Structure 1
């Protein structure tokens, strides 16, 4: 109760008023038909008014079965009531249509009752004004005659409180009803969950693409630029080679970036760079030019690997060399790629630095997701005095 009383001083508690007025505006096209039904009934005026309201609610309920009207109802609820009902499907199912029709009928009936009661309460607020103005000592009010006096002031305050409380309670009721009857059905919730999962998967994919491609290129270019700056006068030829490597790596990074931006814009024109294990020697050359002593061993028919496996294998080697550039201790880096009849095996082994590298890096987590998607296994961690990144990807079911 204290919370309800506190809500009476908030403007948002009276959203039911514009929402009810909006419903009244929506009833204009069907009101003549409801009045025609009421006129055809032989009864007292009060009964005819009730019949007109019921007929209007039924007609609005039938109107609510239409998909565009359901979308309009969701938009009004979100805008005027402050709800967060998801946008409905373009073609709602039968259950959603029935719930929408039921809500529009209830909305119409409740709005009519709310506006009528508030109008009578508003008239009651004029009673103290009639007494204060003087000139009369009695007034006809609600089909009765009452004497005027000081009692009219507290009476008006009670009516004002009742009007505010009714409007605030109606706001809560309208919100609850709109969320329950205009909210998504089970099928629509499933579709929404699938869309959210697809968006999350796409974001994770973009994060992996940026980390694997752009991160590797920036690491290589940074190391090359630092080495060139130290040798700009002593070894100009080495500087020219370093600048050439940076230029080539930058072009490659721009291709990857164009692909990722195309995915963000959902543009089909951005073509994904198809880098596979057949280009692993390019990665090794760049790493050597950046200062690593890399020993590469490739065995088996790498060119015959499935495209998806070969692409992920390229990324594994790329991540291993990037981490070696950043963290490896002195000594050679061994890269071994073995394509057998049943599985692909990759290992990148380098010396540990003075301080052992932290585990749980974002790049390794992305690699683990890639390898797991191919039913493979990834292992990364210290192996004696060296750091080993190894992956095994099956090439046949059950391998």
Structure 2
């Protein structure tokens, strides 16, 4: 008996119930137009259930509908703030717009399932609640209340017990229906293979970035602390005031340098925390071009191919390479004319940044061995591609090629 009453104490029972009942609004609104809501036969109810199906499939073609349904499912099918929060804290539900026809098809199936299940649950709720109220009225001795499922025993107290049965059945059925719709939501609104791969790639990038920061902290702070310990030990062993002063100066300088390194790493950590999950990619490269133009440079950009088909890591790293290329031009050549070419081909991405060579500083026009260019080459090499920079046709050219597979 306690197991039957346990769902009454869980908030998720009522939020899922409400989520299901809301799905019946569209079929019932269609029924108001045709065939009406009174004197309905079994065929009429089948028609009411079938009428909104084409509408649901058409709405599912809108990419943002998948996001809206995912958010609703997260909030109502898997609410976090309740007694079983640990179990439902991280639902496997996607809340992003549809990115493929497969996503649209899954969203369409979900909408149809939600409408049909909602209509069934709404009708079940109405019938069982009506029956329970009829039994309660019979228990109160109302002569106008008829209970066709039970014989007239003449004992009104019997109806008090029977009035609870429809409620128990309703809660049990609603709990089961809620569990089934939640399982269906995980299958139909869950992340697609592409979304899972993108999330895994981004998580891998974050782990690599954390490891790099950890190595940098270990190297800079470990080196500074080692020097400080050695200088302090030598000063104590020497017992020479002049040597002690020199050692303290060295410790002070080493500590100041270590603090600068620590502040730089902490700033990087704070910046990483703000941009996690929304790092810019080539699809938002217009902001870079507008920024260069606002500095006085004349930027001529040419984009060929579909930027949205680029894998996440390549698009994000290419954004950083373009950013560094534009920064190098502005730093070494000033506000000159810049030609940017982005070409998404079948198997690779080509990225070029050109600027007049005459205005370039010797450091940029010479060996091309600056830290910025070196960082670009390292990024390209990690992605299996390559980058080169140098003079070509009286211009300074940065050329990057990245494989897409």
TM class, shorter-length: 0.5 to 0.7
C-alpha spacing 1:18/1:197, structure 2 compared with 1 (3 Å): same
The match for 1:210 among 210, 214, 217 is 217
**1:277 paired residue number:** none
Deviation at 1:87, TM superposition (A): 3.7
5 Å-filtered alignment, 1:118-129, equals 118-129=125-136
Count of aligned positions: 264
Conserved? CA contact 1:60–1:101, under 8 Å: yes
Gap regions ≥5 residues in structure 1: 272-303, 312-372, 374-399
C-alpha spacing 1:149/1:114, structure 2 compared with 1 (3 Å): farther
Conserved? CA contact 1:131–1:148, under 8 Å: no
Please give the alpha-carbon distance, in whole angstroms, between the structure 2 residues aligned to 1:3 and 1:219. Answer: 65
The match for 2:253 among 231, 248, 257 is 248
Deviation at 1:92, TM superposition (A): 1.7
Gap regions ≥5 residues in structure 2: 79-87, 276-319, 325-366, 375-381, 383-405
Deviation at 1:162, TM superposition (A): 0.6
Please give the alpha-carbon distance, in whole angstroms, between the structure 2 residues aligned to 1:307 and 1:6. Answer: 71
Deviation at 1:114, TM superposition (A): 0.6
Task: List per-residue Cα deviations over 1:302-338 (Å, max 9, x = no partner).
Answer: xx9x999xx9xxxxxxxxxxxxxxxxxxxxxxxxxxx
Task: List per-residue Cα deviations over 1:83-129 (Å, max 9, x = no partner).
Answer: 51254444521111110121011112111211221121111111232
- How does the TM-score come out when normalised to structure 2? 0.56
The match for 1:54 among 50, 56, 69 is 50
C-alpha spacing 1:47/1:86, structure 2 compared with 1 (3 Å): closer
Deviation at 1:75, TM superposition (A): 1.2
5 Å-filtered alignment, 1:187-336, equals 187-225=194-232, 227-228=234-235, 230=236, 234-264=239-269, 265-266=271-272
5 Å-filtered alignment, 1:1-399, equals 5=4, 7-11=6-10, 12-23=12-23, 27=26, 35-36=32-33, 38-39=34-35, 47-82=43-78, 84-136=91-143, 139-141=145-147, 147=152, 149-150=154-155, 151-225=158-232, 227-228=234-235, 230=236, 234-264=239-269, 265-266=271-272
- Which 10-residue stretch deviates more, 170-179 or 203-212? 203-212
C-alpha spacing 1:141/1:219, structure 2 compared with 1 (3 Å): farther
Conserved? CA contact 1:7–1:13, under 8 Å: no
**2:352 paired residue number:** none
Q: What is the CA RMSD across the aligned residues, in angstroms?
A: 3.7
